[in-house]
């Protein structure tokens, strides 16, 4: 007997749409994706979208408006499993680099002045787990093709995703790159989740941290190491915050305390 | 007056929609909304090193990631005085071609074509067009491959950096790319024939201004140091604000642009309209074969123009690869020392002119301005959707409005490719004008009666104004009083409410409150308002202002108002005087 | 064992002849470091290479490969990545590294994924000169008695070539005329002198015999937590270590009809996931516990089992760890000294 297909929805909140695009970029596998599961909703790829019960919801993007928050809550209610896909959904993305609400408000005013928006209320960008329970996280900026396909296939087969939990350095060494940190280049590899295939160090370019921090990212050590190498304190903080979203806000709060 | 700093913008694309509100036979509102939240990219790039911004700025959009990369690199290198070797420039162009092939083939085959052959999506379309779907996929894949080889990955590759590349692609890779490009040619010709030969509907058709980069040397190309307009005007790269004049609308986090108060188009159609004569070889032949006057006014020809550009890119790739192979010795990366400077980078993204501007002080970015093509097209999208909706309504084809707006928005290939599935036609609630008028009255408008004596209902606007004035309503003027009282100057910043008749094809006495810009987009509505006003008002003022219109019964001789119009005036008076 | 003489200009012709038999791999420059790579153009071979970034273990067990394809019906082994290879330019320390892996992968639980490539790879050793980070003399791995098919000692005027196996001999027999069987007295003298000079060139020395005891005595020493505080948990030390052999497996599934793959990749005991068990419990939750495990294994536990440390003195951890947690600084800490290292400075900073 044919197994009943999983009902899957793919949703985009605020972000660059890179994760959805990457799924579209799966090209020959795209047909298999549509065959293996019932894709109930995928705005970028199809126009007959439904908003019913789902087995799995893949959510891209950060929550940056009130409307998105409501949409997200609705997705959670309708879905058995919610997977955050991409840096914005997992940790908040580059737009979550404003560390506190005041800072964000100040910058929002600088851009939009006092204009009253009629379509929706803006909100400081947050990862989706600020509002809902998230079952799995698929990191990346954007997510990796292989990792996505294998995760998708595992979920269709009824298995949870199996992802790398270690930092970029491991893959970087698999590829036999010479360590950039040792050449005094500010590489964030040790702090950043692997899965990208250490693509930047492979191209002699330091890791910018775009897959977000690992569970055990040793921010203190890397921070002092970069200070030791003569980098400017503010520059290090900013660099580390670029793709770390709200997750490392606490770390910086601790520095502020120290300063006082 | 409220001042809004326009040096910073948040991003565009991802998620948006278009809606038209219809009241009887009048389209009372068209809104192109971007539902994306604000990301404040131009703020969060401030204070970072140029290298970091080169990484962050392309995250604005995954679909044009390499156009953003090329734009930020051109801007940074202009600002910091970096001169890259010839091989770097050539490979960046090759990378750009990859993005054009990827983006254009995705758009024409997968997003646009299903509409013309009546399928909900490309996957479903594959049942009837298996060959097109399969080869188009390979074509897109080839574009992706080039992007990956040059930039490091499919999306948001970091290999292109200030001064060059982290690493050059191998000779074997380049030769493979070159050979593969040649293999595609038969299908590329088929693509051009397909999309240039499609029967595009004649609604909407209307002249506009097109803008794109001037590549220089009389060549077709995808970047340059000047902007060129279809009017023949040219704008230097650092003066780009003369073109874009950005401003906000309250229904979108994305800024809008107008040139000299008018909407303008950017994108493939703009490039082909402005530079098409310069296309050479097969692309040149195809241009001559298919180009005609309709391309100049019908936005649906964006699809045809994109197909032509696919051919252009496929012809350019082997040339570029050969040229690169002639420069084996160029270093991949040139160092730079400068820590201060100001620079602009102009690039043609697949969907149009993309502008990045940076100021760098003491090694960190002090100021950022990024203007995306979709932001520039937003006003044009609204205008063409309005024209399409009103025209279809006039022709009694209301049921076609939704799909046609879909088609128009999608033709512009906004990065919010997804938004186009969300076209919406709203019925205005009965007495809609009353709610809107009440809202407008709170904003303290200046009333201006428009009309002419001796042509029966044509004097309704004047009559209405005079009666309001009599009833003690403040700031009511007649059109004849505008100039002597310098009314527009005196009240600048306040919304204007024009009282007029308008031929909406409705029953006599029908009242509608319409945005003033509908009048500029649709001369049928008010013959009288057009000539003088458009020069005197800024587009922000136009945006804020409305016309309260009454459908006349007759404008043939006589001083008597018709009964329905008289009743309409009374109704309006009740709403305004309370 | 026979020792032959090979004139310098005969090396390439020899390599030319043997590379028809199997893929020839050798160290080539990678930036200012070196890496084993397949070579067709012999001028790429870095004859004076110091250590490669990754040791020769990558030829036997690639960092990442498929073990087998599986479907609902069964599985099929995949050894498609294994080819016949000749690995030229392997230094003594790396040959000892492979001998250590042999003990782990071939004795108690023979591992077919190691045995097959090991069998099909010929090892052509090459002598080297120590840089400031080499300490293979301290681990007695600067000379080799076994573990190679041929070994080339690179003297100023010629190579002396040791034949270590019949397979090595077969290679010589492909082009016997290139070799000279008759070593002169002068050759022998030159060799002895070269050996003495090399022994004196070592700048790093570690007293390994003392370390097992010191490990035991220092089990609760405070410096372990200092190491843990600085450790970036990047796993690099284990990736570059010639004797580290731990791996993890992951099942990769595909859509459609394509069978699944069991991927085996290098793992590291310094990573948090390594000691995590079902239910989320972790035996070595803290970084310092994991580092201590690593050093216990290298400097103490392996000694009690095999009579020598599982460190071959290649110096890779010295040049790789960004925060200078390595055998040299840890040995110094065990000796009660205060090593000059980032991790030590960070600890001082924290207490300030």
Residues C221 and C296 in one domain: yes
Residues B395 and B448 in one domain: no
Structural domain includes residue A161: no
Structural domain includes residue B264: no
Residues B417 and B503 in one domain: no
The subunits that touch chain C, with at least 3 C-beta pairs less than 8 Å apart, are A
User: Of C127, C249, C107, nearest to C191 (Cα)?
Assistant: C127
A68 and chain B in contact, CB less than 8 A? yes
Residues A130 and A189 in one domain: no
**Residue C57: φ, ψ to 5°:** -60, -25
Residues C158 and C190 in one domain: yes
pLDDT tens-digit series, residues C120-132:
999 999 999 999 9
**Residue A122: φ, ψ to 5°:** -75, 155
Distance CA A91, CA A97 (A): 10
Residues A150 and A61 in one domain: yes
- pLDDT for C11 equals 97
Q: Which position has the token pair 């199996």?
A: A162
Domain span at residue C122? Answer: 2-61+74-201
Residues A62 and A120 in one domain: yes
Res B420 pLDDT > 50: no
Residues A72 and A13 in one domain: yes
Listed residues C201, C224, C254: the one ending a domain: C201
- pLDDT for B419 equals 33
Distance CA B439, CA B443 (A): 7
Q: Name the most confidently modeled range: A88-97, B13-22, C189-198.
A: C189-198
For C251, which residue in chain A has the nearest alpha carbon?
A162
Residues B57 and B198 in one domain: yes
Q: Which two tokens stand for residue B533?
A: 């006003």
Radius of gyration of chain C (CA): 22
Band (pLDDT 50/70/90 cuts) for residue B358 is very high
Residues B27 and B155 in one domain: yes
Q: CA torsion C64→C69→C74→C79, rounded to 10°? A: -80
Residues C54 and C118 in one domain: yes
Residue B455, judged by CB atoms within 10 A of its CB (0-12, 13-18, 19+), counts as middle
Residues C148 and C15 in one domain: yes
Structural domain includes residue B234: no
Q: Do A199 and B39 touch (CB under 8 A)?
A: no
For A240, which residue in chain B has the nearest alpha carbon?
B52
For A159, which residue in chain C has the nearest alpha carbon?
C253
- CA-to-CA dists, residue A72 to A75, B570, C316, angstroms: 5, 48, 49
**3-class secondary-structure state, position B88:** helix
Question: Could you count the other beta carbons within 10 Å of the beta carbon of residue B565?
Answer: 27
Band (pLDDT 50/70/90 cuts) for residue A115 is low
Touch criterion met for C and B (3+ Cβ pairs within 8 Å): no
Structural domain includes residue C164: yes
Residues B537 and B413 in one domain: no
**3-class secondary-structure state, position A113:** coil
- pLDDT for B8 equals 22
For A35, which residue in chain C has the nearest alpha carbon?
C256
CATH of the domain at B445: 3.40.50.1450
Listed residues B400, B422, B444: the one ending a domain: B422
Helix axes B65-80, B130-151, angle to 10 degrees: 30
Residues near B68 by beta carbon (within 8 Å), at least 6 away in sequence: B57, B58, B60, B61, B349, B354, B356
For A243, which residue in chain B has the nearest alpha carbon?
B56
Chain B residues whose CB is inside 8 A of the A22 CB are 62, 154-155
Listed residues A156, A184, A219: the one ending a domain: A156
Structural domain includes residue C66: no
Distance CA B539, CA B544 (A): 9
Structural domain includes residue A209: yes
Average pLDDT rounded to a whole number, residues B29-58: 84
Structural domain includes residue C298: yes
Average pLDDT rounded to a whole number, residues B140-144: 94
Residues B356 and B498 in one domain: no
Higher pLDDT, B230 or B122: B230
Res A111 pLDDT > 60: yes
Residues B395 and B478 in one domain: no
Distance CA B484, CA A157 (A): 79
Band (pLDDT 50/70/90 cuts) for residue B2 is very low
C54 and chain A in contact, CB less than 8 A? yes
Structural domain includes residue A57: yes
Structural domain includes residue B208: no
- pLDDT for B426 equals 72
User: Of B443, B399, B440, B405, nearest to B423 (Cα)?
Assistant: B405
Residues C115 and C36 in one domain: yes
Structural domain includes residue B331: yes
pLDDT tens-digit series, residues A126-168:
899 999 999 999 999 999 998 999 999 998 888 888 899 999 9
Average pLDDT rounded to a whole number, residues A201-213: 94
Residues C190 and C246 in one domain: no
Q: Which of these ranges, A92-101, A112-121, A131-140, C47-56, has the smallest mean pLDDT? A: A112-121
Residues B447 and B301 in one domain: no
Listed residues B380, B396, B422: the one ending a domain: B422
Distance CA C59, CA C82 (A): 9
Listed residues A128, A156, A184: the one ending a domain: A156
Gap from C314 CA to chain A (nearest CA, Å): 16
Residues B91 and B193 in one domain: yes
Q: Which of these ranges, A64-68, A120-124, C92-96, C198-202, has the smallest mean pLDDT? A: A120-124
Chain B residues whose CB is inside 8 A of the A119 CB are 33, 35, 250-252
Listed residues B365, B393, B422: the one ending a domain: B422
Res B17 pLDDT > 50: yes
B6 and chain A in contact, CB less than 8 A? no
The subunits that touch chain B, with at least 3 C-beta pairs less than 8 Å apart, are A
- CA-to-CA dists, residue B404 to B125, B300, B397, B411, B560, angstroms: 19, 10, 11, 10, 41
Average pLDDT rounded to a whole number, residues B54-65: 90
> Which of A28, A33, A173 to mutate to probe the C interface, most C CBs <10 Å?
A173
Q: Do A176 and C35 touch (CB under 8 A)?
A: yes
**3-class secondary-structure state, position B295:** helix
Band (pLDDT 50/70/90 cuts) for residue B35 is low
Band (pLDDT 50/70/90 cuts) for residue B3 is very low
Domain count, chain C: 2
Average pLDDT rounded to a whole number, residues A51-66: 92
Residues A187 and A144 in one domain: no
- CA-to-CA dists, residue C91 to A154, C41, C154, C322, angstroms: 43, 21, 11, 24
Residues near A34 by beta carbon (within 8 Å), at least 6 away in sequence: B123
A171 and chain B in contact, CB less than 8 A? no
Nearest to A165 among C58, C239, C273 (CB): C273
Distance CA C251, CA C240 (A): 25
> Which of A9, A10, A11, A16 to mutate to probe the B interface, most B CBs <10 Å?
A16
Q: Is the peptide bond before B204 cis (omega within 30 degrees of 0)?
A: yes
Listed residues A105, A128, A156: the one ending a domain: A156
User: Of B39, C59, B455, nearest to A122 (Cα)?
Assistant: B39
Total CB pairs under 8 A between chain A and C? 115
- pLDDT for A213 equals 92
Q: Do C346 and A189 touch (CB under 8 A)?
A: no
Total number of residues shown for chain A: 260
Find the largest Cα–Cα distance for chain A: 68
Question: Could you count the other beta carbons within 10 Å of the beta carbon of residue C169?
Answer: 15
Residues near B178 by beta carbon (within 8 Å), at least 6 away in sequence: B317, B318, B321, B322
Res B14 pLDDT > 50: no
User: Of C52, C2, C1, nearest to C28 (Cα)?
Assistant: C52
**In terms of DSSP bridges, do strands A122-126 and A63-65 run parallel, antiparallel, or are they unpaired?**
antiparallel
Q: Which of residues 215-254 of C touch A (CB under 8 A)?
A: 229-236, 239-240, 250-254
Listed residues C201, C236, C263: the one ending a domain: C201
Annotate A206-220 with DSSP letters as a single string. Answer: ----TT-B-TT--HH
Structural domain includes residue B262: no
User: Under a CB-based contact definition with an 8 Å cutoff, are residues A35 and C255 in contact?
Assistant: yes
Residues A133 and A194 in one domain: no
Chain A residues whose CB is inside 8 A of the B35 CB are 65, 67-68, 119-120
Structural domain includes residue B128: yes
Q: Which of these ranges, A111-125, A158-172, A211-225, has the smallest mean pLDDT? A: A111-125
Res B431 pLDDT > 80: no
Q: Which of residues 224-253 of B touch A (CB under 8 A)?
A: 248, 250-253
> Which of B1, B7, B34, B39 to mutate to probe the A interface, most A CBs <10 Å?
B39
User: Under a CB-based contact definition with an 8 Å cutoff, are residues B42 and B10 in contact?
Assistant: yes
Residues B190 and B320 in one domain: yes
- pLDDT for C349 equals 81
Distance CA A112, CA A116 (A): 9
Domain count, chain B: 2
Q: List the strands of the sheet with B26-34, edge to edge.
A: B26-34, B16-23, B424-427
Sign of CA dihedral C18, C22, C23, C29: negative
Residues B345 and B478 in one domain: no
Residues near C336 by beta carbon (within 8 Å), at least 6 away in sequence: none
User: Of B496, B440, B507, B447, nearest to B471 (Cα)?
Assistant: B447
Residues C143 and C248 in one domain: no
- CA-to-CA dists, residue C198 to C44, C131, C142, C185, C202, angstroms: 25, 10, 10, 20, 7
Which residues of chain C fall short of a pLDDT of 50? none
**3-class secondary-structure state, position B503:** coil
- pLDDT for B530 equals 56
Domain span at residue A23? Answer: 6-156
- pLDDT for B523 equals 64
Residues C196 and C229 in one domain: no
Q: Which two tokens stand for residue A89?
A: 């959904």
User: Under a CB-based contact definition with an 8 Å cutoff, are residues A64 and A14 in contact?
Assistant: yes
**Residue B46: φ, ψ to 5°:** -75, 140
Q: Which position has the token pair 């082994």?
A: C77
Structural domain includes residue C67: no
Tell me the helix, strand and coil percentages in chain C, rounded to 5.
Answer: 40, 20, 40
Listed residues C201, C221, C245: the one ending a domain: C201
Q: Do A113 and B158 touch (CB under 8 A)?
A: no
Structural domain includes residue A93: yes
- pLDDT for C181 equals 92
Annotate A131-143 with DSSP letters as a single string. Answer: TS--SEEE--TT-
Domain span at residue B469? Answer: 431-577
Distance CA C18, CA B575 (A): 100
> What average pLDDT does chain B have?
87
Annotate A34-93 with DSSP letters as a single string. Answer: HHHEEEEEETTT-S------EEEEEEESBEEEHHHHHHHHHHHHHEEEEEEESHHHHH--
Nearest to B4 among A15, A113, A199 (CB): A113
**3-class secondary-structure state, position C289:** helix
> Which of A155, A159, A172, A179 to mutate to probe the C interface, most C CBs <10 Å?
A179
Q: What is the DSSP letter of A229?
A: T
Structural domain includes residue A162: no
Domain count, chain A: 2
pLDDT tens-digit series, residues B270-314:
999 999 999 999 999 999 999 999 999 999 999 999 999 999 999
Write b or e for each residue in B492-501: b if 16 or more Cβ atoms lie within 10 A of its Cβ, otherwise e: bebbbbbbbb
Q: Do B15 and A13 touch (CB under 8 A)?
A: yes
Residues A19 and A111 in one domain: yes
- pLDDT for C205 equals 95
Residues B145 and B106 in one domain: yes
**Which residue blocks in chain C are alpha helix, DSSP H?**
11-18, 57-60, 92-106, 112-120, 166-174, 185-201, 211-217, 223-230, 236-240, 287-296, 302-306, 316-320, 327-334, 342-351
Band (pLDDT 50/70/90 cuts) for residue B534 is low
**In terms of DSSP bridges, do strands A79-85 and A54-60 run parallel, antiparallel, or are they unpaired?**
parallel
Q: Do A94 and B62 touch (CB under 8 A)?
A: no
Gap from A199 CA to chain B (nearest CA, Å): 6
Band (pLDDT 50/70/90 cuts) for residue B543 is confident
- pLDDT for A257 equals 54
Res B421 pLDDT > 50: no
Q: Do C320 and A177 touch (CB under 8 A)?
A: no
Q: Which two tokens stand for residue B397?
A: 């084809």
Nearest to B62 among A21, A145, A203 (CB): A21
Average pLDDT rounded to a whole number, residues B463-477: 90
Question: Could you count the other beta carbons within 10 Å of the beta carbon of residue B47?
Answer: 15
Q: Note the pTM of the prediction, 2 decimals.
A: 0.88
Q: How many CA atoms lie within 13 A of B53 on its CB side?
A: 32
Q: Do C232 and A153 touch (CB under 8 A)?
A: no
User: Of B303, B350, B331, nearest to B95 (Cα)?
Assistant: B350
Q: CA torsion B343→B348→B353→B356, rounded to 10°? A: -20
Res B423 pLDDT > 60: no
Structural domain includes residue C69: no
Q: Do B253 and A112 touch (CB under 8 A)?
A: yes
Residues C7 and C114 in one domain: yes
Chain A residues whose CB is inside 8 A of the B140 CB are 25, 27
User: Under a CB-based contact definition with an 8 Å cutoff, are residues B453 and B459 in contact?
Assistant: yes
Gap from A3 CA to chain C (nearest CA, Å): 14
Q: Which two tokens stand for residue B305?
A: 């123009």
């Amino acid at each position: 007997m044919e197994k009943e297909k999983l009902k899957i929805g793919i949703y985009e909140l605020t972000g660059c749409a890179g994760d959805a695009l990457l799924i579209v970029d799966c090209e020959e596998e795209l047909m298999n994706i549509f065959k293996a599961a019932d894709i109930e909703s995928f705005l970028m790829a199809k126009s007959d979208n439904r908003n019913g019960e789902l087995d799995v919801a893949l959510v891209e993007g950060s929550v940056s408006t009130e409307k998105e928050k409501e949409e997200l809550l609705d997705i959670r209610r309708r879905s058995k499993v919610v997977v955050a896909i991409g840096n914005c959904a997992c940790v908040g993305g580059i737009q979550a680099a404003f560390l506190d609400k005041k800072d964000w408000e100040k910058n929002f005013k600088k851009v939009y002045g006092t204009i009253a928006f009629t379509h929706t209320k803006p909100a400081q960008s947050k990862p989706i787990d600020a509002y809902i329970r998230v079952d799995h996280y698929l990191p990346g900026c954007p997510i990796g093709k292989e990792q996505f396909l294998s995760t998708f296939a595992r979920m269709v087969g009824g298995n949870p995703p199996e992802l790398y939990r270690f930092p970029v350095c491991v893959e970087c060494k698999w590829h036999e790159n010479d360590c950039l940190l040792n050449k005094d280049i500010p590489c964030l590899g040790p702090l950043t989740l692997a899965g990208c295939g250490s693509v930047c160090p492979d191209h002699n370019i330091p890791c910018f941290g775009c897959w977000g921090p690992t569970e055990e990212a040793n921010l203190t050590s890397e921070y002092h190491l970069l200070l030791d190498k003569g980098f400017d304190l503010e520059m290090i903080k900013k660099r580390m915050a670029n793709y770390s979203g709200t997750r490392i806000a606490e770390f910086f709060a601790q520095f502020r305390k120290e300063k006082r | 007056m409220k001042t809004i700093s326009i040096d910073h913008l948040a991003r565009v694309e991802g998620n948006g929609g278009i809606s038209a509100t219809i009241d009887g036979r009048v389209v009372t509102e068209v809104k192109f909304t971007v539902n994306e939240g604000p990301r404040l990219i131009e703020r969060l790039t401030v204070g970072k090193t140029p290298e970091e911004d080169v990484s962050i700025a392309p995250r604005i959009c995954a679909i044009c990631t390499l156009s953003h990369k090329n734009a930020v690199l051109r801007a940074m290198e202009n600002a910091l005085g970096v001169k890259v070797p010839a091989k770097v420039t050539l490979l960046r162009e090759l990378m750009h071609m990859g993005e054009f092939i990827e983006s254009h083939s995705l758009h024409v085959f997968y997003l646009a074509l299903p509409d013309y052959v009546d399928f909900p999506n490309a996957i479903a379309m594959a049942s009837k067009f298996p060959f097109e779907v399969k080869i188009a996929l390979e074509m897109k894949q080839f574009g992706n491959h080039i992007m990956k080889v040059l930039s490091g990955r499919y999306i948001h590759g970091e290999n292109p950096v200030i001064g060059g590349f982290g690493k050059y692609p191998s000779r074997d890779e380049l030769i493979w790319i070159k050979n593969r490009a040649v293999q595609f040619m038969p299908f590329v010709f088929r693509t051009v024939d397909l999309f240039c030969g499609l029967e595009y509907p004649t609604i909407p058709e209307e002249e506009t201004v097109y803008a794109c980069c001037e590549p220089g040397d009389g060549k077709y190309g995808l970047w340059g140091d000047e902007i060129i307009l279809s009017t023949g005007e040219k704008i230097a790269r650092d003066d780009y604000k003369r073109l874009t004049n950005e401003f906000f609308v309250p229904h979108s986090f994305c800024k809008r642009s107008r040139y000299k108060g008018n909407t303008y188009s950017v994108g493939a159609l703009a490039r082909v309209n402005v530079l098409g004569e310069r296309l050479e070889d097969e692309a040149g032949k195809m241009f001559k074969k298919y180009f005609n006057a309709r391309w100049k006014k019908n936005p649906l020809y964006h699809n045809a123009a994109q197909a032509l550009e696919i051919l252009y890119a496929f012809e350019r790739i082997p040339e570029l690869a050969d040229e690169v192979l002639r420069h084996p010795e160029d270093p991949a990366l040139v160092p730079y020392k400068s820590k201060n400077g100001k620079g602009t980078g102009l690039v043609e993204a697949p969907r149009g002119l993309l502008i990045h501007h940076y100021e760098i002080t003491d090694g960190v970015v002090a100021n950022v301005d990024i203007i995306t093509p979709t932001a520039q097209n937003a006003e044009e999208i609204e205008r063409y959707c309005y024209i399409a909706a009103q025209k279809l309504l006039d022709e009694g084809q209301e049921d076609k409005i939704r799909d046609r707006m879909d088609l128009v928005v999608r033709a512009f290939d906004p990065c919010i490719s997804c938004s186009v599935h969300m076209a919406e036609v709203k019925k205005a609630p009965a007495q809609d004008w009353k709610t809107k008028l009440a809202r407008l009255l709170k904003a303290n408008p200046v009333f201006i009666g428009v009309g002419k004596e001796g042509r029966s209902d044509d004097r309704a606007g004047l009559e209405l104004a005079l009666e309001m004035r009599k009833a003690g309503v403040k700031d009511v003027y007649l059109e004849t009083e505008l100039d002597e009282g310098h009314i527009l100057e005196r009240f600048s910043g306040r919304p204007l409410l024009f009282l007029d008749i308008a031929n909406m094809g409705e029953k006599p006495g029908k009242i509608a409150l319409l945005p003033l810009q509908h009048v500029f987009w649709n001369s049928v509505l008010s013959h009288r308002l057009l000539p003088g006003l458009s020069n005197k008002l800024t587009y922000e003022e136009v945006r804020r202002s409305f016309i309260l219109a009454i459908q006349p019964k007759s404008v043939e001789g006589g001083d008597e108002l018709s009964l329905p119009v008289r009743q309409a005036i009374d109704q309006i008076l009740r709403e305004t005087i309370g | 064992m026979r020792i032959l003489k090979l004139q310098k200009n005969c090396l390439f012709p020899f390599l030319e002849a043997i590379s028809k038999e199997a893929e020839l791999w050798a160290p080539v420059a990678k930036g200012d470091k070196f890496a084993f790579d397949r070579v067709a153009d012999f001028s790429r071979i870095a004859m004076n290479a110091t250590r490669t970034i990754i040791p020769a273990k990558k030829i036997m067990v690639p960092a990442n490969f498929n073990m087998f394809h599986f479907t609902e019906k069964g599985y099929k082994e995949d050894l498609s990545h294994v080819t016949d290879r000749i690995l030229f330019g392997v230094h003594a320390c790396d040959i000892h590294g492979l001998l250590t892996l042999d003990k782990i992968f071939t004795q108690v639980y023979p591992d077919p994924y190691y045995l097959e490539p090991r069998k099909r790879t010929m090892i052509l050793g090459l002598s080297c000169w120590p840089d400031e980070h080499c300490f293979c003399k301290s681990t007695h791995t600067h000379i080799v008695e076994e573990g190679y098919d041929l070994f080339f000692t690179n003297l100023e005027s010629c190579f002396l070539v040791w034949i270590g196996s019949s397979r090595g001999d077969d290679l010589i027999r492909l082009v016997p005329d290139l070799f000279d069987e008759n070593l002169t007295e002068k050759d022998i003298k030159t060799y002895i002198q070269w050996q003495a000079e090399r022994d004196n060139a070592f700048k790093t020395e570690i007293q390994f015999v003392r370390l097992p005891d010191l490990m035991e005595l220092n089990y609760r020493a405070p410096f372990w937590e200092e190491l843990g505080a600085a450790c970036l948990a990047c796993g690099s030390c284990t990736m570059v270590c010639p004797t580290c052999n731990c791996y993890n497996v992951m099942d990769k599934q595909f859509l459609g009809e394509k069978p699944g793959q069991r991927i085996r990749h290098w793992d590291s005991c310094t990573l948090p996931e390594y000691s995590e068990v079902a239910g989320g419990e972790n035996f070595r939750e803290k970084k310092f516990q994991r580092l201590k495990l690593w050093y216990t294994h290298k400097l103490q536990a392996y000694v009690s089992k095999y009579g020598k440390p599982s460190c071959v003195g290649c110096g890779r951890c010295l040049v790789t760890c960004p925060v200078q947690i390595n055998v040299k600084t840890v040995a110094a800490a065990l000796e009660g000294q205060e090593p000059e290292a980032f991790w030590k400075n960070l600890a001082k900073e924290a207490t300030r």
